[in-house]
Chains A and B, each alone.
Chain A
Amino acid sequence: MTDHLLWKMIVPTEAPNRLESLVNTTDHGQPEWRLDSDASGTVIVLSGEWIAQDGRIPPFPADGLRQVKKGQGIAFRTDSLGRWDTALISFLWDVKQQATRAGLDLRADTLPDSARKLLDLLPEQAAPPPPPPHRRFAPVTAIGAHTLDSLTEIGTVTELGAETARGALAAATGRGRMRMTDLMSNVRDAGPSALLIVGIVNFLVGAILAFVGAVQLHKFAADIYVASLVGIAVVREMSAVMTAIIMAGRTGGAYAARIATMQGNEEIDALTVFGIPVSTYLILPSILSLILTMPFLYLYGCLIGILGGFCVAIGMLTVTGAGYFHQTINAIALNQFELGFIKSIFFAALIGLTSCRIGLRAGRSAADVGIAATRAVVVGIVGVIALDAIFAVIANTLGI
């Protein structure tokens, strides 16, 4: 090594041909380094303050050790090194990796003791960047995989439903393992605490129906038929569907989030190891509480919905209270209630089963809990409306 080489390797000062400029900056300022040589081989001279958060860490160029002959040692000189933190270690690690690659002997013992200790902890090679995930466009495969997934999921949900029904049967005959306290606390959460919101929504729906009907029917002087319109719409469709949508958002989302969190805490695993069936311990009380409360919430919703229509009709139209009442009773046959009542039982089972299933298949992270809750609400609402459409077709065919 000659002085000639030293001149060329002064990196990264602004005026690399003037040694003076380097001397000026070595005094606890910018982090800097240069290659030097002495009798024993190459020396990396470090100077300045190496603080990561200052954002001025000089990189070690990929060919930084190109001119060092193989088998030579590389030492460090740290006389003018100021304060340093992991920024320096980061730089030294780059040097270490290149020295290893080039088969050079890095003399870490010439570093400050503490820096050497940290450097020793680091591997000789950084991890190679992961290959980008290979994605091909294969529509047939994708459709096939999706179909298989859907079929599997339908099977799993059916199996879970059957298992839960078996658990319900066992519980009914007194051999089951469902704890009544769980059921009762679930019933309280699903039922009485939902009364207010179910009431508000159904009242407003009844009132809106009356508004819409009143404008049209008034043209034909058929004001009194607002009562029929509101009564039939609320009892046949709106109360059941609105209540189910509220419960899908309120209770279904909560079930999915709760079970997904239990999944993340290994609570489901603990149940499985004890041999406590998840279907009877967790899912049955959830579904049962919905099935027990939803029909009554539906009846309550009908009453409040009709009340909403009544308020609007009395206020806007020439209808007496007694007349509205009479017309409502005449318009709604008992089988309309039966239809709504049965529908809300099915809606309850659908919401309970899908939300529990979605919670069970959730991943274990916080984000997965959020995804599960969202999916439970979306699937619940879409499912309720789809099921209601099926019921409408069936009712139409049967002439109810």
Chain B
Amino acid sequence: MPPGGANRETLMSLQDITLAFGSKIIQQNVSFDVRRGSIFAVMGGSGCGKSTILKSMIGLLRPRQGRYLVGGDEYWQGDDAHRVAVNRRFGVLFQSAALWSSLTVGENVALPMQMFTKLDPAAIRRLVELKLGLVDMLHAIDQYPSELSGGMKKRAGLARAMALDPDILFFDEPSAGLDPITSARLDDLIVNLRDGLGATIVIVSHELPSLFAIADDGIFLDAQTRTPIARGAPSWLRDHCDDPQVHAFMHRERPETPSGRTD
């Protein structure tokens, strides 16, 4: 049994989900549980559908079939208002940060609070400063996203994801394009957020060092069979999983194919 806080309660549950664009199946028979307080990694090679799974979990893509439960509630049943209410619990860091380019960094973080809370401007300003301070972006509070570097955009995006103190955070390739030091700092921050705020974190990544360091549960998706092929914490999979695909991925090797070719 792979580790992963088996004693903690299940917060999100995907049951036999199939995702498709038109007639093209992206992933099928996807079933896994995310436990409260865990850092759950969605792993797999490029193009296997990791980001698509994430998209479906945050409500941007309705699965072809299957059930998706958040806190015991069926996510895809009910109207849009229901999903908007559930999404209030979500914070998402998009792959390209997706900051609103016509707003400053500070306004980006403030906007969700202005829309969804009754906090007065001074309180919002304090919380914005705090969240930008946590990701070390306080100096850029009045800058526009076009003036930021890639890593700074990521950090600002993380601050925005935390705007409403969500209890579930989704990260799409958080460390892509970051230097090792910034990336390690981001890892620490993610762990601190989980520990400090009791957040549950779903992270899509193939950044192995960071996955080994922080993730305590996960699922491995295969691009060929279009199904999940392994389940467990990345470091556990590295040491114990015999599947050649998973082994090759975790040890940065080229997978061996019968013809001896690699592709």
Contacts and interface: CB of A to CB of B under 8 A. Distances in A.
Contacts of A114: 192, 195-197
Nearest to B120: A55
Interface string A88-125: 01100110000000000000000001110110011100
Interface string B114-147: 0011111001001101110111101101101110
Given A86-B127, A93-B133, A126-B138, A364 B146 contact: yes
A25 interface: no
A366 B100 CA distance: 8
A148 B118 CA distance: 48
B130 A89 contact: yes
Contact of A86 (B100, B101, B130, B135): B130
A52 interface: yes
Contact of B102 (A113, A130, A367): A367
A90 B130 contact: yes
Nearest to B129: A126
Interface string A41-62: 0000000000111010101000
Contacts of A127: 129, 138-139, 141
B107 to A, nearest CB: 13
Contacts of A367: 101-102
Interface of A is mostly: helix
A123 B123 contact: no
A121 B118 contact: no
A89 B192 CA distance: 12
Interface residues of A, number: 30
A85 B129 contact: no
- Most B C-beta atoms less than 10 A away, residue of A53, A87, A115, A367: A53
B223 interface: no
B123 A121 contact: no
A94 B141 CA distance: 18
Interface in A363-380: 363-368
Interface string B157-185: 00000101100000000000000000000
A173 to B, nearest CB: 41
Contact of B165 (A86, A94, A113): A86
Nearest to B100: A366
A269 to B, nearest CB: 14
A56 to B, nearest CB: 9
B241 interface: no
A51 to B, nearest CB: 8
Given A55-B117, A55-B120, A121-B192, A85 B197 contact: yes
Nearest to A121: B134
A86 B129 CA distance: 11
B69 interface: no
Contacts of A85: 165, 197
A379 B245 CA distance: 58
Interface in B85-118: 100-102, 116-118
B229 interface: no
A127 to B, nearest CB: 5
B20 interface: no
Nearest to B126: A90
A363 to B, nearest CB: 7
B195 to A, nearest CB: 4
B58 interface: no
A55 B146 CA distance: 32
B117 A53 contact: yes
B30 interface: no
B94 to A, nearest CB: 15
Contact of A118 (B117, B139, B192): B192
Contact of A121 (B120, B126, B133): B133
A373 to B, nearest CB: 15
Nearest to A130: B142
Interface string A285-313: 00000000000000000000000000000
A94 B133 CA distance: 12
A55 B118 contact: yes
A123 B195 contact: no
B14 interface: no
A122 B146 contact: no
A90 B117 CA distance: 17
Contacts of B130: 86, 89-90, 93, 122
Interface in A9-23: none
B123 A86 contact: no
Interface string A352-392: 00000000000111111000000000000000000000000
A52 B167 CA distance: 13
B127 A90 contact: yes
A87 B163 CA distance: 11
A53 B164 contact: yes
6 contacts: A53-B165, A55-B123, A85-B165, A365-B145, A365-B146, A366-B102
Which 5 residue pairs are nearest across A and B when measured between Cβ atoms? A365-B101, A114-B196, A367-B102, A114-B195, A117-B192
Given A86-B131, A115-B196, 6 more contacts: A93-B130, A123-B136, A126-B133, A365-B101, A365-B144, A365-B146
